[in-house]
Structure 1
Amino acid sequence: MGFQLRYPWPDLDPDDVAAPAIAVRLDITENRAEAAEHAHRKGQLVFALGGGVMCRVPDGLWMVPPHCGVWLPGGTRHTNIATANARILFVFVEPGAAELPDRCCTLSISPLLRELIIALSDHMLPDHGNAPLVAQLLLSELPRMPIQRLHLPISTEPRVQRIAAALADDPSDRSTMAEWADRMALSESSLARLILRETGLTFGRWRQQLHLIVALRELSAGASVQQVSTELGYESVTAFITMFKKALGKPPAKYLSDIVQGGSPAFAA
């Protein structure tokens, strides 16, 4: 299922636009949409005005939380996954136009930068009106944004990718480590070492990180705590809230409220 895109001008290829930065606003009208894997010559910032969005890259999943964006350096193969009625802004940055990270990362988005992104997306052409000045201000603000940590490391190891794909498709799957090991034709200890070596996390912590990503995506899209708790297979809402608070420092409602109000969330390590 692909995005139904509404570009501000037809036949857009951002790599062909001769501007240091351009911004494109997209409205998702499918129930759930995922673009085909692709890459751009330019770097890309994925920023959500509403709804939930994830970026999938070869070695991980990156959540786009409210008031944050995911930075993808030029040449990074990726696909963007959006929930229903998501409103997304893509900012394409010419290589060398600003000192930005050379790896995928989650960046905080200040209120000023948010308004600059929206303003740049409102221009029909990158050289129209105040667009060059807005782009210049945007590129001076973007490198100042703090890097946050909220992603699921996957690695290129086929068995790790298979488990990650299965859990992403059915996050409520509560199979034990022994059950997963049996499916992968490994001993339990071998699977534990494999997950730790490839992701830097224990199996339990790795699966919890996936749950946090899914939870934030769904909560950002308007799902209730009860709905998310059920989707993730928790026995009770209380158990889900306890996990969330232990990992991110705040219960779900408080966490999202603080982000919307411009607070400084405690992101998962």
Structure 2
Amino acid sequence: MPPRIDVDAAAATSFVLVDRLPAGTDTDWHAHVRHQLLFASSGQMHLETADAQWLLPPQQAAWISAGVRHRVRVRATADLCTAYLGPPTPDLAGGACVFAVPPVVSAMLEHAVRWDPRRRHGDEADRFFAVLVDVCRDAVRRGRPWFLPTARTPELARAMAHVLARPGAPHTVAAAARVAAVSPRTLARRFAAEAHMSFETFVRAARLLRAMSRLLEPGAQVTEVGHEVGFTSPAAFSRAFASFVGEPPSAWRRRHAAAPEPGA
């Protein structure tokens, strides 16, 4: 692993760094002068910008545009392979987005570690990173909006945190409103005005995003994960997951998990 460097002062136009962040890491709010492709081959992260938040499991990457303030919190020890992409790299998101990582992107990131960020590189590196961005552009285009909105008031932030702490628990507007210290009617209005979705839609998305993370853990089984995130039957979980992700949970796990699915 290379020594830590100031990524914004690096001599190379584009480069890739590897790192390991222990569980509990909180980067606090920051931004970079380059676009960032944040990818963890293992572990789980929570990415937040001013406009959205994502649960980021392995096999999904985040594109974070240059200058966008963001915060990363690590839920389970994460092995990172992160690209920092300087001009003339085009912006793929106009902010931030998360997408499923094709195997070729993972392989390219691992290959690009060989270029030292502390010195400039020639045309070979420029062509390589241009191809990497093209592949990511296609993956972003085919991706789905796997994100949760962020709160703009402390009351809504408390309600969202209450749901995210235990997404599989029974959740009602009344219970969340008590945590937020507002009336149920006020909380429902806050979700509509700030999150642009209902409380029920937020809970459902939080459950399914957590399920996506859990399904990629070694030994996870579809039926157990569905129960953990609050679905009363395997059929209900499968229908909801397929509607949200685009394929059933068993197919998702087979395509994205590092280990084969046990007994699903």
TM range (shorter): 0.7 to 0.9
Match of 1:10 in 2: 3
Q: Distance in 2 between matches of 1:57 and 1:99?
A: 16
TM-score by length of 2: 0.80
Structure 2 match to 1:68: 60
Percent sequence identity over matched residues?
25
Partner of 2:225: 228
- Residue 261 of structure 2 aligns with which residue? none
Question: CA 1:240–1:140 in structure 2 vs 1: closer, same or farther (change >3 Å)?
Answer: closer
User: What are structure 1's unaligned runs of at least 5 residues?
Assistant: 1-7, 262-269
Aligned to 1:175: 171
Shift of 1:120: 0.7
CA shift, 1:50, in A, is 3.0
CA distance in 2, matches of 1:237, 1:79: 34
Give aligned pairs, total: 253
User: Which residue is equivalent to 1:250?
Assistant: 247
2:214 alignment partner, SS class? helix
Is contact 1:60-1:152 (8 Å) kept?
A: yes
Alignment partners' CA distance in 1, 2:135 and 2:223: 38
Counterpart CA distance in 2 for 1:60 and 1:98 is 21
Aligned counterpart for 1:163 among listed residues 149, 159, 165: 159
The amino acid across from 1:24 in the alignment is L
Residues 53 and 189 of structure 1: is their aligned pair in 2 closer, same or farther, counting only changes over 3 Å?
A: same
2:64 touches 2:96 (CA, 8 Å); kept in 1?
A: yes
Structure 2: give runs of 5+ residues left out of the alignment.
Answer: 259-264
Q: CA deviation at 1:238?
A: 5.1
Q: Partners in 2 of 1:20 and 1:100 — Cα distance? A: 17
Q: Is the 8 A contact 1:52 1:65 kept in 2?
A: yes
Report the Cα distance in structure 2 between the residues aligned to 1:64 and 1:164, rounded to whole angstroms: 17
Say if 2:46 and 2:54, in contact at 8 Å, map to a contact too: yes
Contact between 1:119 and 1:134, CA under 8 Å: does it hold in 2?
no
Instruction: Give 1:50's aligned amino acid.
Output: S
Q: CA RMSD in A?
A: 3.0
- The CA distance in 2 between the partners of 1:191 and 1:229, in whole Å, is 27
**Deviation of residue 154 (structure 1)?**
1.8
TM-score, L = length of structure 1: 0.78
Instruction: Tell me, yes or no, if structure 1 residue 213 matches structure 2 residue 206.
Output: no
In the aligned structure 1, how far is the partner of 2:165 from the partner of 2:217? 18
Partner of 1:3: none
8 Å CA contact 1:21–1:139 kept in 2: the answer is: no
The answer to whether the 8 Å contact 1:48/1:67 transfers is yes
In structure 2, relative to structure 1, the CA distance for the partners of 1:83 and 1:182 (3 Å cut) is: closer
Query: Distance in 2 between the 1:160 and 1:211 partners?
Result: 18
2:68 partner amino acid: T
Distance 1:245 1:157, change over 3 A: same
Greater Cα offset, 11-20 or 102-111 = 102-111
**1:19 counterpart = 2:12:** yes
Contact 2:15–2:115 (8 Å) recurs in 1: no
What CA distance in whole angstroms lies between the structure 1 residues aligned with 2:177 and 2:130?
Answer: 52
* Structure 1 residue identity aligned to 2:12: A
Determine if the alignment matches structure 1 residue 137 to structure 2 residue 150. no
The superposition leaves residues 58-112 of structure 1 with CA deviations (integer Å, 9 ceiling, x where unpaired) of 3321233554321111222222234435332111112543243211112444443
User: Secondary structure in 1 aligned to 2:157?
Assistant: helix
One-letter amino acid matched to 2:182: L
